[in-house]
Amino acid sequence: MDILNALVAFLNFVFIPGLAYGAQLALGALGVTLIYGILRFSNFAHGDTMAFGTMVTILLTWAFQSVGIGLGPLPTALLALPFGIAATAAFVLGTDRVVYRFYRRQKATPTMVVIVSLGVMFVMNGIVRLIIGVDDQNFADGARFLVNPQEFRTATGLAEPLAIKTTQAVTVVTAVVVVAFLFWFLQKTRTGKSMRAFSDNEDLALLSGINPDRVVAVTWILAAGIATIAGVLYGLDKTFKPFTYFQLLLPIFAAAIVGGLGSPLGAITGGFVIAFSEVMLTNAWKKIVNHLLPQDMQVDSLLQLLSTDYKFAVSFTILIIVLLFMPTGLFKGKSL
Amino acid sequence: MNSRNLLLFGAVAGLYVLTGIGESWNLSLSILNVALLATIAALGVNMQWGYAGLFSTGVMGFTALGALSVVLITAQPNVENWQAGGSGIVLALVLGAASVAAAVVAWGLMPKGRLRALVVAAILIGGFFLFRAIFDPAVSAVEAVNPQFAGNLGGLGLPSLVAWPVGGLLAAAAAWAIGKTALGLRSDYLAIATLGIAEIIVAVIKNEDWLARGVKNVTQLPRPWPVPLEIELQKEPGFLDFVASWGWDPIFTSTILVKLLYAGLFLIVLCIIIWAFERALNSPWGRMMRAIRDNEVSAAAMGKDVTRRHLQVFILGSAVIGFAGAMAASMEGTLTPGSYQPLRFTFLIWVMVIVGGSGNNWGTVLGGLLIGWLYFAVEFLGPNAMAAVTSSLPDGWLKAHLVNSAEHMRLLTLGVILLIVLRFSPRGLIPEK
C-alpha cells in the first residue's frame, strides 16, 4: 500500500496527459461547434485548417530560431502563433469568399456544404504537404520540463517521478485564456451577441439589422484562430504530422457531438470526456494498481483495457453511445 | 446514350489508347484494371449518394473488409496456428458477440430505469473481461507459431470467386451495424460515423496479426478462376505455339493476356452491376428512393419508411464496395493494410461519382474511368513528368522538393477539380435524367 506513489503515478500517466490532450481537443471542438452553430455545416476541413495554421507557425518558428529570437523557457512557437493565426484567418476568409459564399447564397443543403468542405480539405491538405512534406516535424524548444522528474524524485523521496512538460503547462494555460476570451467575446461584446442571435434564429437576426457578412467573417476568423492555437498546442505537445491532423477529425467531431453541436460549453466538456476516456482506457494500470495492492498480491499483467493502436475506437464508441442514447448531446445542441 | 455521351466515352477510351501507344500497353491495362475496380466501388457510392442522398466517408473501410475476406477465404489454412489457439479465438469472438446480444435483449426486455442501465452495463463490462480473458492467451499462442511466415490462422483455401461475394456480405454486415445507429439522425452524422468505422477497420487489420498478419502482409493469394499465373502460362505448350505462330514475345504476351483476362472479368461484373442498378433505378423502388432523396418529409407523409429505405440502400451500396475491394485484393494477390489511405480509397471514389454525374450510373462509369486514368496515370507518369518539367532547373534542394512533391500535387488537383465541378457543373459530366 503506497497511496502517495499511486497518486503521483496517476497524475503522471493519466491526469496530466489527459488534461493537456483534453484542452487540445476542446479547442478543436470549439472551432467545429462555432462553424456548426453559425454557418450550419460540419466542417471536414477543420483538421487541415489546424494543420495549415500549425505549418505557418512552424515555418515562422524556424525563421525566428535561425535569427536567434526566442522566449527563453517558453517555446518560440508562441511568438510565431499570432502570425500563424493571421495567415490562417486570411486563408480561411479567402476560401469563404471563393467557395462557401456561393453555397450560402444558394441556400444549399448542409450535406452539400459538407462535401464542399471535403474539397477544401483536399486543397488545404495538398498545400500543407507540398510546403512542409508528410514527415514528423518537431518544433518545440525552450525548457523541456516545468517539473523535472529527477528533481521531483530527489525532492520528495518518492519512488514515482512526476513530470510536467512545459508544453503541457502552456497548453492548459493557453486553453484557459482562449476559452475565457471566447466566452467574454460571445457574452459581452456587440459582435458576439449578434453571433449568438444569428446562431439562434437567422431570420430574426437579419430582421433586427445584424449584418450577416460581418457575423460570418468574424466566425471564420475566430474559428481559424482557435484551430491554429489547437493545432500548435497539439504539435508542441506531441509532434506535427499532416496525416495525424486529418485523423484528429474523429475525436474532435466526437467531442463536439458529445457536448452537443453548436454549444461551446458542450465542446469543452466533450473534449475532456473524450480525452480522459481515451487515456484511461489505453493506459496500462499495472504500476498504479501495484502501488495500491499489498506486496503479496501484485499483478503481472499490464492491466491495459485497450491497446493504444485502438485509441480512435474509444472516441468512436463514445460517439455511437451518444448517437444511440442522446443524439443532441450533453448540452442539448441543435443537432437532430 | 446520346452522341455527346458517346463522344465523352470515346475521349476517355482515347486516353487509355494514347497511354498504350505512348508508354506501354501493360501500363495502360494496369491503369484500366484499377480504374475498373474503383468504378465498381464508385457505383456503390453512387447508389448511396446519387439514389438516396446519403453521405458516407467509409468507402476505405468497406474496401478493406472485402480484401480481408479474400485472405480469410482463399489463403491456405495454417493448421499449426489453428491448433495453437484457433478454438480459443473463435470461442472468445462468439462470447463477445453473445454478450453484446444479451445486452441488447436485456435493454429490450427490462423496464426503463436505473436498474436496466446497470444490468446492461454489467453485461457489457463482464462480457468484455470474459472476452479478453479467453482471447488474449489464444492470440499470443497463435501468433507465436511460425511468426516469420505465418503467425495467423490463415484462410479456408477456397477459390477467389467465392471470396468476392463474401467480401460483399462482410461489408454489408458492417454497414448494417453502422447504419442502424447513424441513420435517421442528422445527415452528417453518417459521414462522421463512417469516417470512424473506416479508420477502426483498417486499424484492426493492421494490428491483429492472428487475423491477416497485420502489417507483415499476406502475400501470394491465389488468382481468380480463369486467370493463370504468367510463369505457368509461359510453360504452356499450347500458348507457346500460339505465340510463335504470330511471332510475338511470349513473356510480353503473357503479361498482356493476364491483364486482359482481369479486365474481362471486371467488365463482366461491372456490366452485371450496371444492369441491376439500372433496373433498380427505373423500378418503383428507384422512383421511391429518388422521391425520398428529393423530399424526405413528403415521402414520409406518403407512408414511406425513410430510415428503413436509407438503411437498405446504404447496405446495398456498401456490399458493392466490399465486392470491389475483394476483387482488388485478388488481383493484387496481397493484403497490405498499410496501403489503405482514405485519400485513395474513399475520397478518390467520391470525386469519381461527383465528376461523372451523381445519380447517373453511366456518368459514374465515365467519371470512374476518367478520374481513375488521371489519378493512376499520374502515379505512374507523375515523377517522370515532374523530372522533365524541372530538368532545366539546377540540381539542388528546390528540384528535389518539386520532384518528390509530385505525389501531393494529386491531392491538390483532386480538390480543385472537385470544387470546380461542384461549383460550375454540380450535376456532373453526364447529368441525371
Q: What is the mean pLDDT of residues B81-98?
A: 91
Residue labelled with grid coordinates 469472438: B93
Residues of chain A contacting B205 with CB distance shorter than 8 Å: none
Residues of chain A contacting B100 with CB distance shorter than 8 Å: none
Assigned domain for B118 exists: yes
**Cα separations in angstroms, B127 against A325, B121, B365:** 21, 10, 46
Domain end among B133, B153, B173: B153
Q: B121 — contact with chain A (CB < 8 Å)?
A: no
Assigned domain for B429 exists: no
With a cut of 70, say whether residue B149 has pLDDT above it.
Answer: yes
* B160 shares its domain with B128: no
**CA of B119 to nearest chain A CA: how many angstroms apart?**
16
Q: What is the mean pLDDT of residues A215-227?
A: 95
Cβ atoms A314, A24 nearer than 8 A: no
* B194 shares its domain with B297: yes
With a cut of 60, say whether residue A9 has pLDDT above it.
Answer: yes
Q: B200 — contact with chain A (CB < 8 Å)?
A: yes
CA-wise closest residue to A5 among A156, A150, A148: A156
Residues of chain B contacting A127 with CB distance shorter than 8 Å: 412
**CA of A154 to nearest chain B CA: how many angstroms apart?**
39
> What band does B1 get if pLDDT is binned at 50, 70 and 90?
low
* B139 shares its domain with B203: no
Residues 223-242 of chain A whose Cβ lies under 8 A from any Cβ of chain B: none
Round to whole Å and give the CA distance between B318 and A83: 44
Mutation to test the B interface, candidates A46, A130, A305, A334, most B Cβ within 10 Å: A130
A67: left (phi over 0), alpha (psi -120 to 50) or beta: alpha
Alpha helices (H) in B208-360, listed in sequence order: 209-212, 230-235, 237-246, 250-281, 284-294, 296-301, 306-332, 342, 348-356
Q: B215 — contact with chain A (CB < 8 Å)?
A: no
pLDDT of residue A336: 37
With a cut of 80, say whether residue B397 has pLDDT above it.
Answer: no
Q: B418 — contact with chain A (CB < 8 Å)?
A: yes
Domain end among B105, B135, B153: B153
A250/B414 touch (CB, cutoff 8 Å), yes or no: no
Chain B residue at shortest CA distance from A115: B55
Q: What is the mean pLDDT of residues A192-214?
A: 88
Chain A residue at shortest CA distance from B406: A130
Q: Please write the tens of the pLDDT for every residue from B244-283.
A: 888 888 888 889 999 999 999 999 999 999 999 999 989 9
Round to whole Å and give the CA distance between B262 and B230: 13
pLDDT of residue B102: 94
Q: What is the mean pLDDT of residues B69-77?
A: 92
The overall average pLDDT reported for chain A is 89
Work out whether strand A145-147 and strand A164-165 pair parallel, antiparallel, or are unpaired: antiparallel
The overall average pLDDT reported for chain B is 89
> What band does B176 get if pLDDT is binned at 50, 70 and 90?
very high
| Residue B212: partners with Cβ closer than 8 Å, 6 or more residues away | B68, B71, B72, B152, B205, B218, B335, B337
* B71 shares its domain with B91: no
Residue labelled with grid coordinates 480469410: B72
Chain A residue at shortest CA distance from B295: A109
Round to whole Å and give the CA distance between A20 and A177: 14
A315/B196 touch (CB, cutoff 8 Å), yes or no: yes
B412/A115 touch (CB, cutoff 8 Å), yes or no: no
B411/A129 touch (CB, cutoff 8 Å), yes or no: yes
* B104 shares its domain with B238: no
Q: A316 — contact with chain B (CB < 8 Å)?
A: yes
Cβ atoms B70, B329 nearer than 8 A: yes
A335/B414 touch (CB, cutoff 8 Å), yes or no: no
Residues of chain A contacting B57 with CB distance shorter than 8 Å: 44, 118
With a cut of 60, say whether residue A17 has pLDDT above it.
Answer: yes
Phi/psi of residue A108, nearest 5 degrees: -65, 155
**Cα separations in angstroms, B216 against A302, B65, B141, B172, B198:** 25, 17, 18, 27, 20
Q: Please write the tens of the pLDDT for every residue from B161-173.
A: 999 999 999 999 9
Compare CB distances from A312 to B191, B203, B354 and report the shortest one's residue.
B203
Between B148 and B289, the more confident residue is B289
Compare CB distances from B192 to A42, A102, A118 and report the shortest one's residue.
A42
With a cut of 90, say whether residue B233 has pLDDT above it.
Answer: no
> What band does B396 get if pLDDT is binned at 50, 70 and 90?
low
Residues of chain B contacting A40 with CB distance shorter than 8 Å: none
Q: How many CB atoms lie within 10 A of CB B219?
A: 12
pLDDT-wise least confident of A147-151, A178-182, A202-206, B397-401: B397-401
Residues of chain A contacting B204 with CB distance shorter than 8 Å: 310
Assigned domain for B53 exists: yes
Q: Please write the tens of the pLDDT for every residue from A73-122.
A: 888 999 999 999 999 999 999 999 999 999 999 988 888 899 999 999 98
Assigned domain for B276 exists: yes
Q: What is the mean pLDDT of residues A302-322?
A: 86
Alpha helices (H) in B110-215, listed in sequence order: 114-144, 160-182, 187-207, 209-212
A312/B195 touch (CB, cutoff 8 Å), yes or no: no
Tally of domains within chain B: 2
Q: Please write the tens of the pLDDT for every residue from A228-276.
A: 999 999 999 988 999 899 889 999 999 999 988 888 899 999 999 999 9
CATH 3.40.395 for the A3-325 domain, yes or no: no
Give domain limits for chain A. Answer: 3-325
pLDDT of residue A93: 96
Round to whole Å and give the CA distance between A205 and A192: 13
* B149 shares its domain with B162: no
Round to whole Å and give the CA distance between B52 and B317: 10
Cβ atoms A42, A50 nearer than 8 A: no
**CA of A182 to nearest chain B CA: how many angstroms apart?**
26
* B83 shares its domain with B36: no
* B125 shares its domain with B145: yes
Residues of chain A contacting B199 with CB distance shorter than 8 Å: 247, 250, 312, 316
* B180 shares its domain with B129: no
Percentage of residues of chain A with pLDDT beyond 70:
99
DSSP state of A309: G
Round to whole Å and give the CA distance between B175 and A26: 30
Q: What is the mean pLDDT of residues B301-329?
A: 94
Chain B residue at shortest CA distance from A315: B196
pLDDT of residue B173: 95
Q: A319 — contact with chain B (CB < 8 Å)?
A: yes
Residues of chain B contacting A319 with CB distance shorter than 8 Å: 192-193, 196
**CA of B198 to nearest chain A CA: how many angstroms apart?**
10
Domain end among B134, B153, B172: B153
Assigned domain for B417 exists: yes
The secondary structure of B39-97, three-state, reads HHHHHHHHHHHHHCCCCCCCHHHHHHHHHHHHHHHHCCECHHHHHHHHHHHHHHHHHHH
Chain B residue at shortest CA distance from A248: B196
* B67 shares its domain with B149: no
Q: Please write the tens of the pLDDT for every residue from A131-147.
A: 888 888 888 888 888 88
* B277 shares its domain with B420: yes
> What band does B312 get if pLDDT is binned at 50, 70 and 90?
very high
Q: Please write the tens of the pLDDT for every residue from B214-229.
A: 888 888 888 888 888 8
Q: Which residues of A273-305 are buried (b: 16+ CB within 10 A; e: fewer)?
A: bbbbbbbebbbebbbbbbbbeeeeeeeeeeeeb
SS3 state of residue A137: strand
Round to whole Å and give the CA distance between A113 and B231: 51
Which residue range(s) make up the domain with B402?
3-77+154-424
A309/B415 touch (CB, cutoff 8 Å), yes or no: no
**CA of B200 to nearest chain A CA: how many angstroms apart?**
6
Q: Pull the grid cell for residue A242.
A: 499532416
Q: B288 — contact with chain A (CB < 8 Å)?
A: no
B185/A254 touch (CB, cutoff 8 Å), yes or no: no
A312/B196 touch (CB, cutoff 8 Å), yes or no: yes
B412/A309 touch (CB, cutoff 8 Å), yes or no: no
Residues of chain B contacting A112 with CB distance shorter than 8 Å: 422
Q: What CATH number does the domain containing B411 carry?
A: 1.10.3470
Q: How many CB pairs under 8 A join A and B?
A: 130
Residues of chain B contacting A257 with CB distance shorter than 8 Å: 189, 192
Percentage of residues of chain A with pLDDT beyond 90:
50
Residues 326-345 of chain B whose Cβ lies under 8 A from any Cβ of chain A: 342-343
Chain A residue at shortest CA distance from B182: A323
Q: Please write the tens of the pLDDT for every residue from B126-140.
A: 999 999 999 989 998
* B149 shares its domain with B175: no
B347/A122 touch (CB, cutoff 8 Å), yes or no: yes
With a cut of 60, say whether residue B111 has pLDDT above it.
Answer: yes
**CA of B71 to nearest chain A CA: how many angstroms apart?**
22
Cβ atoms B207, B139 nearer than 8 A: no
> What band does A335 get if pLDDT is binned at 50, 70 and 90?
very low
